[in-house]
Amino acid sequence: MNGSSRLSAQEIADILRERIRGGELKAGDRLPTQAELAEEFGVERGTVRQALRALQDDGLLSNVSKGSPPRIAAPAPAREEPQSTMVGLAPRLTEAFSTPRVRIDAVCLTAESFMLAVGEPVRHIHEGRIRPEAIDVRIMLPSRRINLAFPVPVDGRDAGEEDPVHERWLAQRNSQARVLQHNLQALRATHGIDVHVSFRALPFTPPVKLYLLNGEEALIGYYMLTRREEEWESQTLEMYDALGSASLLFSFAKRAGRRDQAFVEESQKWFDALWETITTDLTLS
């Protein structure tokens, strides 16, 4: 392809990408060497390296090393459509609990979705279908002492004035977290599983819910605010609130490619750093 106008790295990447999609290059096949590709396209090796990096970032290449040409990667698993938290979280937790050492990290407004979803892997443990050796769960929930961004009363409240919307949220947070903690720690007595459940108090309202499963998958859901009414202690509360169980969960798994892998790794680093920064344990009372 020598000519007066040399191909760019992006154009070479596009040509190779079409060869992969068209089946000319199949999963497991080795690419030609950089020297061979440079000769074919009439460019410098540096241009070929840029093109290969673009394909690698797209998850199309595997076994990338300096010693030998990379191979065509197997197709990434088809990405599932996002599901509501109530539907999508339980099966993902069950898969995560199928490993010998389980590590779940979570950031959320309350523990409601987590509490309900963890019932499925716990049931599988009781039925003998899975048997982890250790379970380590870390959860960050908003502190009781902050002014939440949501839920909040529609009519607002002056500083120091009683806020039944906040009281309702706090009661839910505490009861749901206690049930979650009890259901997991009970596995120590019933099945001899080494279980640790710990909570930290967030100094802010999380705009999203985040679940990190064994460092291999990140599930993220965006809270969508709505105006609604709720009965609470013989009164009707009008509030702006988020229905967490209806939030759509988006999955990012390391096995799906480099971009998903980067998201999972950066999310885990963010969680770990925040956990170490916040030294206040959550009081469930």
pLDDT per position as a tens digit, 210-261? 999 999 999 999 998 999 999 998 999 999 999 888 888 999 998 888 889 9
Q: Helices 85-96 and 119-126 sit at what angle, rounded to 10 degrees? A: 40
- Give the separation between CA 196 and CA 92, rounded to whole angstroms: 20
- pLDDT tens-digit readout, 194-219: 999 999 999 999 999 999 999 999 99
- Given the DSSP bridges, would you call strands 152-153 and 235-242 parallel, antiparallel or unpaired? antiparallel
pLDDT reading at 2 higher than 60: no
Average pLDDT, the chain: 89
pLDDT in tens, 12-42: 988 998 888 888 888 888 889 899 999 999 9
DSSP reduced 3-state for 108? coil
**pLDDT band for position 65 (50/70/90)?**
low
Tokens of 72: 């065509």
For the record, the structure tokens of 204 come out as 């802010």
